[in-house]
């Protein structure tokens, strides 16, 4: 009676092993996609940061020439600070996601 029970146990363990392997492969693919997406977000965030730096320069020039108020200038500076924060946040997010992918790839 033990042999049929052992065969059943072995079959169940194989099914469980295959399910775990499938789940891990899916997680690896997702980790790679997350790292690629995070890299694309860095590029987008970097562009936003550059545009906000330019906006601050323009607003400071407009403030000197009287075409903008201090409120406008402060608003541009606030947006620039937010863009800097977002850029740093996306860089950290990228590093974390690459490390996760590296873990799965055993690097």
pLDDT value for 4: 83
Q: What is the pLDDT of residue 43?
A: 96
pLDDT digits (tens, 9 = 90+) for 33-48: 999 999 999 999 999 9
pTM score over 0.75: yes
3-state secondary structure the chain: CHHHHHHHHHHHHHHHHHHHHHHHHHHHHHHHHHHHHHHHHHHHHHHHHHHHHHHHHHHHHHHHHCCCCHHHHHHHHHHHHHHHHHHHHHHHHHHHHHHHHHHHHCC
Structure confidence at residue 61 (pLDDT): 96
- Tokens representing 56 are 């601050």
Cα-Cα end-to-end distance for the chain: 47
CATH class of residue range 2-105: mainly alpha
Residues of the chain predicted below pLDDT 50 = none
pLDDT of residue 107: 62
Contact 80, 56 (CB under 8 A): yes
Domain boundaries of the chain, sorted by first residue:
2-105
In this prediction, residue 1 carries a pLDDT of 55
Query: What does the pLDDT read at residue 91?
Result: 97
98 contacts 38 by C-beta, under 8 angstroms: yes
């Amino acid at each position: 009676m033990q042999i049929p029970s052992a065969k059943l146990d072995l079959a169940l363990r194989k099914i469980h092993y295959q399910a775990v392997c499938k789940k891990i492969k899916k997680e690896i693919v997702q980790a790679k996609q997350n790292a690629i997406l995070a890299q694309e977000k860095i590029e987008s965030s970097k562009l936003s940061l550059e545009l906000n730096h330019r906006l601050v320069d323009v607003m400071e020039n407009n403030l000197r020439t009287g075409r903008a108020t201090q409120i406008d200038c402060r608003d541009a500076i606030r947006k620039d600070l937010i863009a800097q924060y977002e850029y740093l946040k996306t860089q950290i997010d990228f590093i974390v996601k690459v490390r996760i992918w590296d873990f799965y790839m055993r690097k």
